[in-house]
């Protein structure tokens, strides 16, 4: 068996290592266009910022190690120019010498990754306008910062954009982020990003939404970025983080099927339309694990697992990739935002029926010092209660709850199961009723009809004449800020003051985070009112209406 693997980072390197473990006899050729194999892609921003001062740490495994330990035939700085499917060869060009030659294969695994998008903006090729994909890219950006760049403009407020923001700020660079959409972190539901917007503001980052770069020009003291709005931004350096496109040229030229967004099509065994060619990682179109819809999800975790699975299949083991649920996380200063499974906007776009609940718990027992707040949103099927997706944003413990919910989604668990999840509790680690349990209680209460809820956008859509808005917080909380039109009846006075609540229209109760509002809803419901609790309370209202 002669296996040729094109691309030596996450998916390709995993495939190669797995292949060697499965077969000592196989000839395994690993071809990488760049100088580095198996480097820590996700660590690049942190070397620029200084959190990872030693560049060598990013080289997870050396070429030498791959050669010695795994007996891989590693060819770095070698570009695969084309695939001859009939002859079962690839044409390889040595980047440094230009020398070209053919290499035969029995099986081929394509792991070429995805390339940063470079939209046709005037001046995009100016020095000082960067993208970040590999170590040389990182070196160039770091050199610009080391060289004294005082102002940076980042185009795109996605995951990589925000990681760069953090690292530029750590270096004392005045940073502006420009995002075409009306929110940062476009994969998340918009209201969930409010704490991230706050974190940007708190660290002096300028955020410009619903705008885009129209031209980059060289000025005397650096670059200037002209936005579509007409605004001009001075910049010592610019980084484009506006997304990636699958590196599909090899596949397309070879006549392999690709999807409408360019991802190489594969079956569940990660086989392309040619049975001897597999493809993995950021270059492929895979399936959403929940909906089955085709998706392109450029994430390291799935890429690594796909590498294993492709190698399994090459060596006759029919492993399957179950699809991806898009679990991802980004840190920004002391905040984290994470998601798994479907978002509300994705479900709405696909016309999938769903319900959502939002809670604002702390990460561990409130009586133990250092508890940090988070917002946790869970989406689920209205009929079965099956968990469809989750998002969390906040401080410590966001990753843990999203990981638990990612596992629950994979297992097909329902919100009723979340009520029963038995997580580890000691006051410094969690709560006797963990945030995941709480989300389960609130969601199950909604489905059982015990706890009718409405979210802030739906509330805004109700005419004022249709509803009475009752703020059940204290007078003091009410005085600090409340939803326009609300009447203040503290929950502790509610039972005595039911006569003040009109019975001719729906009542919407709310408190700060939804707990007292829930009790108020129970009181009112049992007193015969038509009532709903505002999901996530005033805190969620403020996230929807910053």
Residue 472 CB-density burial (10 A; 0-12 exposed, 13-18 middle, 19+ buried): buried
String of b and e for 254-264 (b: at least 16 CB within 10 Å)? bebebbeebbb
Q: Where are the alpha helices (DSSP H) in 185-244?
A: 194-202
Q: Min. distance of Cβ 90 from its own copies in angstroms?
A: 27
User: Among 58, 74, 155, 240, which residue interacts with its own copies (rule: CB under 8 A)?
Assistant: 58
Q: Is 163:186 a contact under the CB 8 Å cutoff?
A: no
**Binding status of residue 313 toward its own copies by CB under 8 A:** no
Provide the pairing of β-strand 277-279 with 107-110.
parallel
Q: State the Cα angle at 194 between 522 and 365, rounded to 5°.
A: 55
Binding to its own copies (CB under 8 A): which residues in 472-511? Answer: 491-492, 495
Q: Is 481:538 a contact under the CB 8 Å cutoff?
A: yes
Q: Min. distance of Cβ 336 from its own copies in angstroms?
A: 7
Q: Min. distance of Cβ 250 from its own copies in angstroms?
A: 24
Distance CA 518, CA 526 (A): 12
- Classify 165 as helix, strand or coil: helix
Binding to its own copies (CB under 8 A): which residues in 156-195? Answer: 163
Scanning 88-96, 134-142, 273-281, 328-336 for contacts with its own copies by CB under 8 A, the matching segment is 328-336
Q: Min. distance of Cβ 493 from its own copies in angstroms?
A: 9
Provide the pairing of β-strand 453-454 with 467-471.
unpaired
- Closest to its own copies by CB, 101 vs 425, is 425
Distance CA 56, CA 36 (A): 11
Task: Supply the DSSP string of 488-541, one letter for each residue.
Answer: E--HHHHGGGGGGS-SSSEEEEE-SSSHHHHHHHHHHHHTT--EEEETTHHHHH
- Closest to its own copies by CB, 255 vs 370, is 370
- Classify 319 as helix, strand or coil: coil
User: Among 36, 419, 455, 471, which residue interacts with its own copies (rule: CB under 8 A)?
Assistant: 419
Scanning 255-263, 274-282, 345-353, 414-422 for contacts with its own copies by CB under 8 A, the matching segment is 414-422
Distance CA 319, CA 310 (A): 8
- Closest to its own copies by CB, 224 vs 521, is 521
**Binding status of residue 352 toward its own copies by CB under 8 A:** no
Q: How many CB atoms lie within 10 A of CB 13?
A: 27
Binding to its own copies (CB under 8 A): which residues in 108-147? Answer: none
- Closest to its own copies by CB, 124 vs 523, is 523
**Binding status of residue 315 toward its own copies by CB under 8 A:** no
- Closest to its own copies by CB, 305 vs 467, is 305
Q: Facing residues of 92 across strands?
A: 80, 101
Binding to its own copies (CB under 8 A): which residues in 280-299? Answer: 289, 299
User: Among 330, 342, 443, 486, which residue interacts with its own copies (rule: CB under 8 A)?
Assistant: 330
Q: Min. distance of Cβ 133 from its own copies in angstroms?
A: 16
User: Among 214, 519, 530, 544, which residue interacts with its own copies (rule: CB under 8 A)?
Assistant: 519
**Binding status of residue 365 toward its own copies by CB under 8 A:** yes
Q: Min. distance of Cβ 24 from its own copies in angstroms?
A: 4
- Closest to its own copies by CB, 88 vs 360, is 360
- Classify 161 as helix, strand or coil: helix
Paired tokens of 386:
């099956």
**Binding status of residue 462 toward its own copies by CB under 8 A:** no
Q: Is 43:104 a contact under the CB 8 Å cutoff?
A: no
- Closest to its own copies by CB, 151 vs 343, is 343
Q: Min. distance of Cβ 123 from its own copies in angstroms?
A: 32
Q: State the Cα angle at 122 between 121 and 126, rounded to 5°.
A: 105
Binding to its own copies (CB under 8 A): which residues in 423-452? Answer: 423-430, 432-434, 437, 441, 450
> Which one of the listed residues 2, 27, 35, 42 is annotated catalytic?
42
User: Among 406, 501, 531, 534, which residue interacts with its own copies (rule: CB under 8 A)?
Assistant: 406
**Binding string to its own copies for residues 25 to 54, with x set by CB under 8 A, is what?**
x--------------x-xx--x----xx--
Q: Min. distance of Cβ 119 from its own copies in angstroms?
A: 26
Q: Which contacts (CB < 8 Å, 24+ apart) does range 431-437 have?
A: 431/361, 431/362, 431/364, 431/365, 431/366, 432/365, 434/401, 435/359, 435/361, 435/363, 435/374, 435/376, 435/397, 435/401, 436/376, 436/401, 436/404, 436/405, 436/408
User: Among 222, 527, 542, 544, which residue interacts with its own copies (rule: CB under 8 A)?
Assistant: 527
Question: Residues in contact with its own copies, total (CB under 8 A)?
Answer: 86
User: Among 181, 410, 474, 487, which residue interacts with its own copies (rule: CB under 8 A)?
Assistant: 410
Distance CA 48, CA 280 (A): 28
In a 13 Å sphere around the CA of 497, the CA atoms on its Cβ side amount to 14
Q: Min. distance of Cβ 281 from its own copies in angstroms?
A: 11
Binding to its own copies (CB under 8 A): which residues in 331-350? Answer: 331, 336, 338, 340
User: Among 403, 477, 506, 530, which residue interacts with its own copies (rule: CB under 8 A)?
Assistant: 403
Binding to its own copies (CB under 8 A): which residues in 64-83? Answer: 68-71
Dihedral angle over CA of 320, 244, 182, 443, nearest 10: 10
Q: Is 90:102 a contact under the CB 8 Å cutoff?
A: yes
Name the residue among 520, 526, 545 with its Cα closest to residue 534: 520
**Binding status of residue 301 toward its own copies by CB under 8 A:** yes
- Closest to its own copies by CB, 127 vs 370, is 370
Query: Active-site residue 511, yes or no?
Result: no
Active-site positions read 42
């Amino acid at each position: 068996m002669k296996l040729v693997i094109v691309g030596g980072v996450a998916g390709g390197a995993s495939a190669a290592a797995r292949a060697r473990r499965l077969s000592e006899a196989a000839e395994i050729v690993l071809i990488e266009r760049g100088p580095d194999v198996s480097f820590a892609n996700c660590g690049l921003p942190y070397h620029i910022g200084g959190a990872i001062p030693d560049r060598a740490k990013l080289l997870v495994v050396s070429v030498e190690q791959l050669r010695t330990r795994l007996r891989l035939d590693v060819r770095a700085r070698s570009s695969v120019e084309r695939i001859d499917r009939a002859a079962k060869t690839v044409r390889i060009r040595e980047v440094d010498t230009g020398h070209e030659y053919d290499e035969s294969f029995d099986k081929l695994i394509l792991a070429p990754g995805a390339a940063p998008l470079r939209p046709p903006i005037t001046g995009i090729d100016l020095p000082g306008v960067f993208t970040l994909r590999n170590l040389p890219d990182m070196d160039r950006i770091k050199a610009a910062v080391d060289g004294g760049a005082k102002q940076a403009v980042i185009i795109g407020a996605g995951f990589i954009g925000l990681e760069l923001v953090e690292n530029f700020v750590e270096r004392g660079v005045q940073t502006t982020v420009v995002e075409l959409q009306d929110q940062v972190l476009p994969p998340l539901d918009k209201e969930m990003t409010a704490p991230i917007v706050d974190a940007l503001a708190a660290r002096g980052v300028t955020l410009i939404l619903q705008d885009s770069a129209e031209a980059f020009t060289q000025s005397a003291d650096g670059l200037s970025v002209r936005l579509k709005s007409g605004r001009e931004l001075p910049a010592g350096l610019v980084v484009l983080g506006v997304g990636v496109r699958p590196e599909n040229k090899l596949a397309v030229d070879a006549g392999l099927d690709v999807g409408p967004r360019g991802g190489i099509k594969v079956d569940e065994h990660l086989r392309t339309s040619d049975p001897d060619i597999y493809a993995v990682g950021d270059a492929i179109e895979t399936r959403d694990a929940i909906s089955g819809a085709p998706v392109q999800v450029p994430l390291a975790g799935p890429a690594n697992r796909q590498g294993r699975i492709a190698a399994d299949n090459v060596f006759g083991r029919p492993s399957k990739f179950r699809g991806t649920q898009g679990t991802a996380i980004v840190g920004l200063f002391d905040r984290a935002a994470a998601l798994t499974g479907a978002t509300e906007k994705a479900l709405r776009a696909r016309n999938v029926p769903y319900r959502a609940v939002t809670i604002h718990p702390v990460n561990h027992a409130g009586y133990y010092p250092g508890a940090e707040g988070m917002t946790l949103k869970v989406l689920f099927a209205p009929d079965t209660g099956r968990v469809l997706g989750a998002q969390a944003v906040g401080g410590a413990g966001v990753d843990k709850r999203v990981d638990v919910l990612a596992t629950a989604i994979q297992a097909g668990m329902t919100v009723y199961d979340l009520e029963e999840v038995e997580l580890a509790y000691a006051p410094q680690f969690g709560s006797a009723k963990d945030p995941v349990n709480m989300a389960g209680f609130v969601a199950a209460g909604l489905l059982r009809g015990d706890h009718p809820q409405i979210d802030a956008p739906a509330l805004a859509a109700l005419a004022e004449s249709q509803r009475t808005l009752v703020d059940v917080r204290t007078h003091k909380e009410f005085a600090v800020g409340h939803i326009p039109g609300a009447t203040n009846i503290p929950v502790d006075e509610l039972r005595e003051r039911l006569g003040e609540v009109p019975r001719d229209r729906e009542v919407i109760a709310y408190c700060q985070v939804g707990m007292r509002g829930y009790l108020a809803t129970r009181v009112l419901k049992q007193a015969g009112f038509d009532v709903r609790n505002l999901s996530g309370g005033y805190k969620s209202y403020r996230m929807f209406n910053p």
